[in-house]
């Protein structure tokens, strides 16, 4: 153990601090306004911190001075407003800028005060923060003009520089089984610069003398299955081989995270067939580090990490999300680390954390610079009787299918081909509005904003049929749509109700299954010459060479709308 002490701002679950503790530093305080975070921090570090809002340090230097003078200052200001995924990168950045500025204000006071004890400071944020944060802050910009003059510093001089004091790091390169890229800023005072830790792991195609990245498959194989029976057998931490505990002491792992079929199918569509975003694997590829663990446990989203379940389920429960313990291990927390709160709170604590393996790498650099020698890593096991544990050792009963809100919008296409999508929707995609319940057919040319959208009225099939009958198997396709598929199309209101309930009714298919069935029918035909050259601008206004599959999809989706809306079927 070293005498070097650490204070952690926006401490959350304590991932930043955990890496330093593993290297022998003493964690003395955590600052966070969220009670589950402080409860978790206190439990793991044996502290009694109270919730505290960092905004109190925005104007009061006295309160900054009352904070413990520590050797290390850590901070990870909330990054959601900087993230490019938040409101497509258009979120208000002002709060993120303000919180970061307050943190750096604290760093400046502690660094430049007389007889400063500060040895290093580090800050973590999303990579997009580099675009929005200034390159440097003067004392004046940090609201420290009077303080600077009092301590013989020019208020306009640079107090904190970020431009040359940061590095973009991937947690997978430091031993976490997760691809998580973040920007780390900071400075080791003795070195008068930021020192980027050397990676400890490498990609499979690299030839350095380093271990390869840990993978999602490695973690699944080295943690007990969530459907395991109770046992007192010893298990070894997949990341920290000197950590061994009884299986019965492994919290938040033995419970069923299986997904309803409606949810995992929604995730699958968004990953593999999104209207305008790229392809993602479903289920996850396990021969590489996992994708970034997020702070929200959602099984029906594009960003959800979805795995094939253990066991032999088909449909409901066939796929599942991560357990909290699996997510924490992917972040690089030891299996002895505990999270306090509900399942949702635990997910937020894990997904918002700093990966301990990267934090530990920075801690090693501090030890090296101050010649502290090698550290004996230690992983204390806390009593578990007060930990709210998610373990149930029971299989989930799928008796409460998810439902969507009344009037929920629907949009789906069978496939993307030729930079086109043929879409069934219950609202006007171009205008993003609907005045009444009506099912609509449209074609999107290209992806994203600015590309044309062509809308189609119901009925008027004869002209389109004359084109399709010339395709290989075109006549058979038209007969299948009219003499079997059409009988599965309900009226508009029933179609909407089935979508909201996410289930079929009698012989009728819900709109998701209707569109997916179209894709399966079309893909069952062999089409040797895939494209059709239009004469004029019919049926697609903005395209001359059209995939035959898309014209077949247009015919079938127009059929859905015509039948559902009570129009002509001719």
Does residue 385 have a pLDDT over 80?
Answer: no
Q: What is the 3-state secondary structure (H, E, C) of 438-499?
A: CCEEEEEECCCCCCCEEEECCCCCHHHHHHHCCCCCHHHHHHHHHHHHHHHCCCHHHHHHHH
Quick one: 511 exposed, middle or buried, by C-beta within 10 A (0-12, 13-18, 19+)?
Answer: buried
Distances (CA, A) of 383 to 150, 361, 370, 388, 483: 49, 28, 34, 12, 67
Q: Which of 154-163, 197-206, 441-450, 460-469 has the lowest mean pLDDT?
A: 441-450
Would you tell me which CATH number, out of the four given (3.40.50.150, 3.40.50.720, 3.20.20.70, 3.40.50.300), belongs to the domain 5-211+355-369? Answer: 3.40.50.150
Higher-pLDDT residue of 92 and 216 is: 216
- E strands, 376-432, are 411-412, 416-417, 420-425
Q: How confident is the model at residue 471 (pLDDT cuts 50, 70, 90)?
A: very high
Q: What is the mean pLDDT of residues 22-50?
A: 96
Give which of 347, 250, 341, 363 is closest to 42, Cα–Cα.
Answer: 341
- The dihedral formed by the CA atoms of 525, 526, 531 and 537, expressed in degrees to the nearest 10: -20
Does residue 83 have a pLDDT over 60?
Answer: no
Q: How confident is the model at residue 80 (pLDDT cuts 50, 70, 90)?
A: low
Give which of 523, 525, 527, 511 is closest to 559, Cα–Cα.
Answer: 511
* Angstrom distance (rounded) from CA 14 to CA 122: 14
Percent of the chain with pLDDT over 90: 83
Contacts of 189 (CB under 8 A, 6+ apart): 111, 118, 119, 120
Q: How many residues are present in the chain?
A: 570
Distances (CA, A) of 91 to 24, 216, 303, 392: 39, 32, 19, 39
Q: Which of 79-93, 112-126, 205-219, 371-385 has the lowest mean pLDDT?
A: 79-93
Q: What is the pLDDT of residue 132?
A: 83
Q: What is the pLDDT of residue 570?
A: 57
Beta bridge pairs of residue 337 = none
Residue pair 172/289 in contact (Cβ under 8 Å)? The answer is yes
Active site includes 49?
no
Q: What is the pLDDT of residue 376?
A: 78
Q: For 178-230, what is each residue's pLDDT tens digit?
A: 999 999 999 999 999 999 999 999 998 888 889 999 999 999 999 999 999 99
Does residue 30 have a pLDDT over 90?
Answer: yes
Structure tokens at 282: 């479903």
Q: Where along the chain do its domains lie?
A: 5-211+355-369, 411-564
Higher-pLDDT residue of 111 and 401 is: 111
Q: What is the DSSP string of 154-188?
A: -TTSEEEE-TTSEEEEEGGGGT-SB--EEEEEEEE
Q: What is the pLDDT of residue 403?
A: 92
Q: Which of 252-256, 381-385, 555-559 has the lowest mean pLDDT?
A: 381-385
Quick one: 133 exposed, middle or buried, by C-beta within 10 A (0-12, 13-18, 19+)?
Answer: buried
Q: What is the pLDDT of residue 448?
A: 65
Q: For 299-354, what is each residue's pLDDT tens digit?
A: 999 999 999 999 889 999 999 999 999 999 999 999 999 999 999 999 999 999 99
Give which of 31, 10, 7 is closest to 21, Cα–Cα.
Answer: 7
Q: What is the pLDDT of residue 433?
A: 75
Higher-pLDDT residue of 298 and 178 is: 178
Q: Looking at 332-377, list the stretches that DSSP marks H as alpha helix, in order from N- to C-terminal side.
A: 343-351, 356-369
Q: What is the pLDDT of residue 14?
A: 98
Q: Looking at 198-354, list the stretches that DSSP marks H as alpha helix, in order from N- to C-terminal side.
A: 216-222, 261-272, 324-331, 343-351
* Angstrom distance (rounded) from CA 16 to CA 125: 12
Q: What is the pLDDT of residue 306?
A: 97
* Angstrom distance (rounded) from CA 129 to CA 171: 17
Phi-psi region of 77 (alpha: psi -120 to 50; beta: other; left: phi over 0): beta
Catalytic residue (choose from 11, 79, 355, 561): 79
CA angle 312–315–316, rounded 5-degree value: 90
Q: What is the mean pLDDT of residues 22-32?
A: 96
Residue pair 81/126 in contact (Cβ under 8 Å)? The answer is no
Give which of 78, 10, 17, 3 is closest to 47, Cα–Cα.
Answer: 17
Does residue 110 have a pLDDT over 90?
Answer: yes
Q: Over the chain, what is the mean pLDDT?
A: 92
Higher-pLDDT residue of 137 and 430 is: 137
């Amino acid at each position: 153990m070293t005498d070097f002490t650490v204070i952690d701002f926006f401490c959350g679950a304590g991932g930043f601090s955990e890496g330093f503790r593993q290297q022998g530093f003493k964690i003395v305080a955590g600052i966070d306004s969220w009670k589950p975070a402080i409860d978790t921090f206190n439990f793991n570090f044996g502290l009694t911190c109270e919730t505290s809002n960092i905004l109190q340090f925005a104007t009061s230097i006295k309160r900054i001075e009352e904070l413990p003078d520590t050797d290390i200052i850590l901070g990870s200001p909330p990054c959601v407003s900087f993230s490019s995924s938040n409101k497509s990168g258009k979120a208000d950045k002002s709060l993120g800028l303000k919180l970061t500025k307050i943190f750096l204000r604290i760093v400046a006071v502690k660094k430049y005060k007389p007889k400063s004890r500060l040895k290093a400071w580090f800050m973590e944020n999303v990579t997009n923060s580099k675009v929005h944060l200034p390159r440097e802050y003067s004392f004046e910009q940090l609201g420290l003009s009077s303080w600077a003059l009092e301590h013989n510093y020019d208020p306009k001089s640079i107090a904190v520089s970020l431009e040359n004091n940061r590095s973009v790091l991937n947690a997978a390169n430091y031993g976490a089984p997760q691809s998580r890229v973040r920007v780390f800023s900071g400075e080791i005072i003795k070195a008068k610069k930021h020192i980027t830790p050397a990676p400890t792991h490498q990609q499979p195609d690299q030839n350095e003398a380093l271990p390869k990245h840990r993978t999602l498959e490695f973690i699944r194989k080295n943690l007990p299955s969530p459907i395991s029976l109770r046992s007192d057998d010893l298990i070894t931490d997949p990341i920290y081989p000197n950590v061994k505990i009884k299986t019965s002491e492994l919290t938040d792992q033995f419970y069923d995270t299986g997904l309803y079929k409606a949810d995992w199918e929604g995730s699958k569509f968004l990953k593999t067939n999104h209207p305008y975003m790229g392809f993602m694997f479903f289920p996850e590829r396990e021969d590489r580090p996992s994708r970034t663990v997020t702070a929200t446990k959602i099984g029906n989203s594009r960003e959800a990490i979805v795995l094939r379940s253990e066991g032999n389920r088909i449909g409901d429960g066939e796929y599942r999300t991560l357990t909290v313990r699996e997510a924490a291990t992917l972040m690089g927390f030891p299996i002895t680390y505990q999270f306090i709160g509900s399942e949702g709170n635990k997910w937020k604590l894990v997904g918002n954390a700093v990966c301990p393996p990267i934090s530990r790498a920075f801690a090693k650099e501090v030890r090296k610079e101050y010649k502290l020698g090698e550290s004996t890593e230690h992983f204390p096991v806390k009593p578990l009787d007060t930990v709210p544990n998610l373990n149930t050792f029971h299989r989930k009963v799928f008796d409460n299918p998810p439902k969507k809100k009344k009037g929920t919008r629907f949009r789906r296409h069978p496939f993307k081909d030729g930079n086109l999508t043929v879409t069934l929707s219950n609202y006007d995609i171009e205008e993003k509005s609907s005045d009444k319940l009506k099912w609509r057919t449209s074609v999107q040319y290209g992806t994203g904003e600015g590309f044309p959208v062509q809308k189609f009225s119901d009925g008027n099939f004869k002209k389109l049929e004359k084109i399709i009958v010339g395709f290989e198997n075109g006549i058979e396709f038209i007969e299948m749509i009219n003499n079997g598929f059409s009988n599965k199309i309900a009226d508009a209101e029933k179609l909407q109700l089935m979508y909201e309930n996410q289930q079929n009714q009698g012989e009728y298919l819900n709109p998701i299954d209707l569109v997916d069935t179209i894709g399966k029918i079309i893909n069952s035909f062999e089409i040797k010459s895939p494209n059709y050259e239009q004469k004029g601008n019919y049926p697609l206004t903005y395209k001359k060479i059209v995939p035959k599959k898309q014209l077949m999809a247009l015919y079938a989706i127009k059929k859905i709308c015509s039948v559902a809306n009570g129009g002509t079927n001719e």
